[in-house]
Amino acid sequence: MRTTARPLALVSSTIILSSCVLGPQPGSPDYQTPGSIRGDSAPHGTSFGDKAWRSVFSDSIMRELIESALKNNPDLVAATYRIEQARARANASRSDWFPQLGGSGGASANYGSINSGQVAPGSDRSSETYDLTGLLSWEIDLWGGIRRSNEAARAKLLEAEYLRDAVQTSLVASVAASYIEMTNLDERLAISKRTAQSREESLKLVTSRRDGGVSSDLEVGQAEALLGQARTAIPITEQAIAAKENEIRSLLGEFPGNVPRGGSLDSSLRIKGGLPSSLLERRPDIAAANQAYQAATAEIGVATALRLPTLSLTGKGGVISSSFDNLLDSNSGVYSIGPSLAGPIFDAGRSKARVDAAKALAGEALAAHDKAAKQAFREAADSINAHVKTGEISTEQNRLVEANLKVANVANERFEGGQSSYLEVLDAERNLFSSELDLADARRDQLLSVVQAYRALGGGWK
């Protein structure tokens, strides 16, 4: 008992003294946010990003598409597996707190040389050895390296979870935006077909007038050019629609195919930024950058602890015998146990370089967090401004269409009454067609600004 009490007492006292933890304490960066998000009309109210995506995207078809994407999108599935990888690594790091137990067993037959002195005179040249051995190894966290390693692994796990949320916010926004763009192409196609049909009637009228000696071949050619413009837009738009449908199906993790249509997003939703400090909490990409910084900070402690000696408790015990029959006899027992101290004496600056590299990595992570935070405020301000301005553009574009429609009607009336040439109609019709397409795009941009604002304000992961 006296021989074992000393090493065990030493281990106990060492565990008590092992509360020293090296390196800086991991924590969130001390970040100063601006007083408000630029352009926000309610800087201290509830943010638009706090809404659940199902309350923002109320159209049933769009909801179904988003839900399908959240189940099957390969990028989101891959991000989920990265969480499992990080969780497994965190569990592996946690195991360093506990003793490691192992075992071995063996048997050997030996035949000694008499001439080399391996066998004593009169002894048998043949011998056998059997053993069963248990192995114990337990590293004491003398300088907090294991603790820092666990903190780093935990931070990396949280980083992986936040990165998955960031993938989800991007996915929700991408599906919604692609759906809006598809409906915009549908509207452009309808405008092109309606315009082509109207211009076919106009061509018939001009042709009949030429046959009656009222119009000229020039005016017929101009009418044909107008019709060709609208007809050319139809296959171009149909091609874009098919490509957009395939894009949506890809986001859903499916093969190319048709996409159902339904309603659309409400462009009249009020966009509010809310508290600037809460933006950093809602944005999962910034939360991930925060955890990356904390992991890098913890790694400084790990690298610092590697510069100092390590204390381990090692033990070995079991049974060994020259005869298999009495291997488990009490007289075959053998063991040894005791602490061991090991550490670098001279490594040509390798350990210090590891610490310097860890500090530099933490500095890089802090800079990345700063960049992500400022980018978030930029995106939020841009999206709020875009929502306001696209609404104004849509209003003015609608007035422009009404004005061009009046001009086109008057031009056609003047032409049919013989008061002007078809060139006046040609110019008016072109302006009307262009303004109608621009109005469709303005409505699209207004809807897209809602999606962009929702993503920029941290919505989509709830």
Share of the chain above pLDDT 90, in %: 70
- How much is the pLDDT for 413? 92
In residues, how long is the chain? 462
Q: Under a CB-based contact definition with an 8 Å cutoff, are residues 23 and 143 in contact?
A: no
pLDDT digits (tens, 9 = 90+) for 99-116: 999 999 999 998 888 787
Q: Is 105 strand, coil or helix?
A: strand
What are the distances in angstroms from CA 327 to CA 5, 160, 315, 332? 27, 52, 20, 6
Q: What's the pLDDT at 115? A: 81
**CB contact at 8 A, 155 and 298:** yes
pLDDT at 10 over 70: no
Look over the chain and give the mean of its residue pLDDT values, rounded to a whole number.
91
Residue type, 442: A
In a domain, 77, yes or no: yes
Is 217 within the bounds of a domain?
Answer: yes
In a 3-state reduction of DSSP, which class is residue 347?
A: coil
Q: Do β-strands 126-140 and 310-321 pair in parallel, antiparallel, or remain unpaired?
A: antiparallel
Q: What is the DSSP string of 215-269?
A: S-HHHHHHHHHHHHHHHHHHHHHHHHHHHHHHHHHHHTT--S----------TTP
Q: Mapping DSSP to helix (H, G, I), strand (E, B) and coil, where does residue 338 land? A: strand
Q: Stretch 199-211: mean pLDDT, rounded?
A: 91
Distances (CA, A) of 300 to 23, 122, 361, 369: 6, 65, 9, 18
Sign for the CA dihedral angle at 271, 275, 277, 278 comes to: negative
Specify the higher pLDDT residue, 3 or 431.
Answer: 431
The 8-class DSSP code of residue 114 comes to T
8 A C-beta contact, residue 339 and residue 10: yes
Secondary structure element (H or E) that encloses residue 333, with its range? strand 333-342
Query: What is the β-pairing status of strands 126-140 and 333-342?
Result: unpaired
Tokens of 167: 């993938």
Does 441 map to a domain? yes
Residues 350-390 have pLDDT tens digits of 999 999 999 999 999 999 999 999 999 999 999 999 999 99
CA proximity to 128, closest of 147, 154, 143, 108: 108
Residue 134 counted as domain residue = no
Share of the chain above pLDDT 70, in %: 96
As given in the structure block, the two tokens for residue 307 are 């510069």
Tell me which residue range forms the domain holding 225.
24-99+143-308+352-456
Q: In the prediction, which pLDDT does 5 show?
A: 44
Helix (H), strand (E) at residue 10: helix 2-17
- Token pair 């497994």: residue: 88
Residue 290: both structure tokens together = 């925060």
> In this model, does residue 3 exceed pLDDT 60?
no
Residue 232, C-beta contacts closer than 8 angstroms, at least 6 positions apart: none
| CA atoms of 458 and 273, how far apart (whole Å) | 10
Q: Is 274:46 a contact under the CB 8 Å cutoff?
A: yes
Taking each helix axis from N to C end, the angle separating 145-211 and 217-251, rounded to the nearest 10 degrees, works out to 160
pLDDT in tens, 296-334: 999 999 999 999 998 999 999 989 988 888 888 888 889
Instruction: Evaluate whether residue 44 is within a structural domain.
Output: yes
The DSSP letter of residue 52 is -
Residue 7's pLDDT band (cuts 50, 70, 90): very low
Residue 117 has pLDDT above 80, yes or no: no
- Distances in Å between the Cα of 339 and the Cα atoms of 102, 136, 211, 310 are 17, 11, 112, 10
How many distinct structural domains can be found in the chain? 1
- Local structure of residue 42 (DSSP, 8 states): -
pLDDT digits over 386-396, tens only?
999 999 999 99
Residue 373 lies in a domain: yes
pLDDT digits (tens, 9 = 90+) for 12-39: 444 544 558 899 999 999 888 998 899 8
Q: Is the pLDDT assigned to residue 263 strictly greater than 80?
A: no
Rounded CA-CA distance 173/69 in Å is 11
Q: Is the pTM of this model over 0.95?
A: no
pLDDT at 326: 86
Q: How far apart are CA 402 and CA 398, in angstroms?
A: 6
pLDDT value, residue 19: 55
103 close to 131: Cβ distance less than 8 angstroms = no
Spatial CB neighbours of 111, under 8 Å, sequence gap ≥ 6: 125, 126
Question: Is 338 in contact with 312 (CB distance < 8 Å)?
Answer: no
Q: Say if CB 442 and CB 397 are below 8 A apart.
A: yes
Is residue 152 situated within a structural domain?
Answer: yes
Q: Is the pLDDT of residue 282 over 80?
A: yes
Whether the predicted pLDDT of 433 surpasses 90: yes
Instruction: Kindly report the CATH number assigned to the domain that includes residue 423.
Output: 1.20.1600.10
Stretch 156-181: mean pLDDT: 96
For residue 125, name the pLDDT band (cuts at 50, 70, 90). confident
pLDDT band at 265 (very low <50, low <70, confident <90, very high): confident
Instruction: Please report the pLDDT score of residue 1 as a whole number.
Output: 37
Q: How far apart are CA 297 and CA 5, in angstroms?
A: 39
